[in-house]
Amino acid sequence: MKKTLVAALTVATVAGSLVTATPPAKAGDVGAGIAAGLIGGAIVGGAIASSRPAYGGPVYIAEPPPPAPCYWRRERYWDGYGWVSRPVRVCY
C-alpha cells in the first residue's frame, strides 16, 4: 500500500511540474530550485530508506511426513577387482 501511494504521489508531482507554465528563470531562482530539490530528495529518500521491506504474508508449511521405517544392510558388489561389502540404507 505504501509503495502504491508513493508511486501515485511521484507521478502526480512530475505531471504537475510538467503542466504548469513558468516564466524564464533567473540566476537566483535556479539556485533556490536546486536547493529545494536536494532537500526534497533527501526527505523522500530518507522516508523510503527507513520504511520496512515488503515481505509476503505468512506462508503455510506442511508438516513433514513421518519417517519411513529404514534399516542398514551390508551389500556385496563386484568392483572389478574382487567382492566388496558396503553398508546400504534400505527404506520401505
Dist. CA 73–CA 48, nearest whole Å: 60
Cβ atoms 74, 86 nearer than 8 A:
yes
Any idea where the domains of the chain sit in the sequence?
A: 2-50
For the stretch 68-83, pLDDT in tens is 889 999 999 999 999 9
For the stretch 24-52, pLDDT in tens is 656 667 778 888 888 988 898 888 888 77
User: For the whole model, what pTM was predicted?
Assistant: 0.32
